[in-house]
């Protein structure tokens, strides 16, 4: 599943090709995504100019305006989706469901085999139900150890699902939660309410470090968002614990262990993480 680093990589990859370009055609080949693509999407945005390509959590926000209206496309990649800039004449593939053609001839093509993604329209995206109650961005100043400490008091929830809760902080998916907890030396099963402010400060820095490194390496699953040949990101080569069950810890040499938490794989070092 594309996580925050993959979505941010997508945003950075497509923005230079799309910003300040006019949408000349909207093609919806199959609008049956997680939520139906608006039937009047072409009417809403054809002739509009793309002014911004932003990100909120794992949602891409494509801000457009015309002489008559302004609003935002809310795009989610779902479990298997990708959004790519098509600069050649390659024909659409089976699961290329939505496509925007721009005035420079470039096409922004959305591929989603499982159709768990979305293309929605909102004139007030900050108030949209998908975005209104989200927590802070993990790389923003308002995300800090004091916030985690305050929100966690009296909570018996294990710290791993706590930091994966999008109402607490957005974008800390399973892979990156594993990695950040290892770097901070915190056991994933430790109760969130039993972690000190100092350790939360270390955890925040570990989350920021992990996500920043993943973004620079193009994420873990996808890297190339130009044309149709998505290539693997390079962060997978740097993983310290995730996917390494039974291998030796790179810090202490102790064998790593794997457990299931909320039906997700959780790998940790029983010696380094307390």
Please tell me the predicted confidence (pLDDT) of residue 238.
82
- State the angle between helix axes of 197-216 and 145-152 in degrees (0 to 180), rounded to the nearest 10: 120
Please tell me the predicted confidence (pLDDT) of residue 228.
47
Cα distances (angstroms) measured from residue 112 to each of 82, 143, 234 = 7, 32, 22
Q: Which of 15, 236, 4, 6 is nearest to 140 (CA)?
A: 4
Please tell me the predicted confidence (pLDDT) of residue 233.
61
pLDDT at 231 over 90: no
The answer on whether 155 is annotated among ligand-binding residues is: yes
Region 241-248 average pLDDT: 96
Q: Are 47 and 6 in contact (CB under 8 A)?
A: no
pLDDT at 224 over 60: no
pLDDT tens per residue, range 74-96: 999 998 899 999 999 899 999 99
Residue 173 binned pLDDT confidence (cut-offs 50, 70, 90): very high
Residues 6+ apart with CB under 8 A from 45: 23, 26, 64, 66, 71, 73, 100, 121
pLDDT at 105 over 70: yes
Residues 6+ apart with CB under 8 A from 195: 148, 149, 152, 159, 186, 203
pLDDT tens per residue, range 144-169: 999 999 999 999 999 999 999 999 99
Please tell me the predicted confidence (pLDDT) of residue 1.
72
Catalogue all structural domains in the chain, each as residue range(s) with its CATH number: 4-127 (3.20.190.10), 145-268 (1.10.8.50)
How many other C-beta atoms lie within 10 A of the C-beta of residue 146?
Answer: 12
pLDDT at 225 over 80: no
Q: What is the DSSP letter of 91?
A: P
Annotated catalytic residues are 2-3, 58, 264
The answer on whether 257 is annotated among ligand-binding residues is: no
Please tell me the predicted confidence (pLDDT) of residue 188.
98
The answer on whether 95 is annotated among ligand-binding residues is: yes
Distance CA 65, CA 63 (A): 7
Please tell me the predicted confidence (pLDDT) of residue 220.
64
φ/ψ (deg, to 5) at 126: -65, -25
Share of the chain above pLDDT 90, in %: 85
Mean pLDDT of the chain: 93
Burial readout 79-88 (b: 16 or more C-beta within 10 A, e: otherwise): ebbbbbbbee
């Amino acid at each position: 599943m594309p996580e925050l680093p993959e979505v941010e990589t997508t945003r950075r990859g497509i923005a230079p090709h799309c910003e300040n370009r006019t949408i000349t055609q909207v093609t919806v080949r199959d609008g049956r995504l997680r939520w139906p693509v608006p039937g009047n999407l072409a009417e809403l945005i054809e002739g509009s100019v793309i002014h911004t390509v932003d990100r909120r959590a794992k949602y891409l926000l494509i801000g457009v305006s015309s002489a008559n209206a302004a609003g935002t496309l809310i795009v989610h990649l779902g479990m298997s989706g990708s959004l790519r800039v098509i600069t050649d004449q390659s024909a659409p593939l089976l699961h290329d469901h939505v496509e925007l053609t721009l005035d420079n001839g470039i096409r922004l093509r959305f591929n989603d085999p499982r159709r768990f993604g979305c293309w929605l329209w909102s004139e007030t995206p900050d108030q949209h139900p998908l975005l209104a109650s989200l927590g802070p961005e993990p790389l923003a100043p308002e995300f800090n150890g004091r916030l985690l400490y305050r929100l966690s008091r009296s909570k018996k929830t294990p710290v791993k699902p706590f930091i994966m809760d999008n109402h607490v902080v957005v974008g800390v998916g399973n892979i990156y939660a594993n990695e950040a907890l290892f770097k901070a030396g915190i056991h994933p099963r430790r109760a969130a309410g039993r972690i000190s402010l100092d350790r939360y400060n270390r955890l925040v820095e570990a989350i920021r470090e992990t996500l920043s490194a993943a973004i620079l390496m193009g994420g873990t699953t996808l890297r190339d968002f130009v044309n149709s040949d998505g290539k693997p990101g390079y962060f997978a080569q740097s993983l310290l614990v995730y996917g390494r069950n039974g291998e030796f810890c790179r810090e202490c040499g102790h064998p790593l262990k794997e457990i299931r938490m909320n039906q997700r794989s959780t790998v940790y070092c029983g010696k380094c993480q307390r």
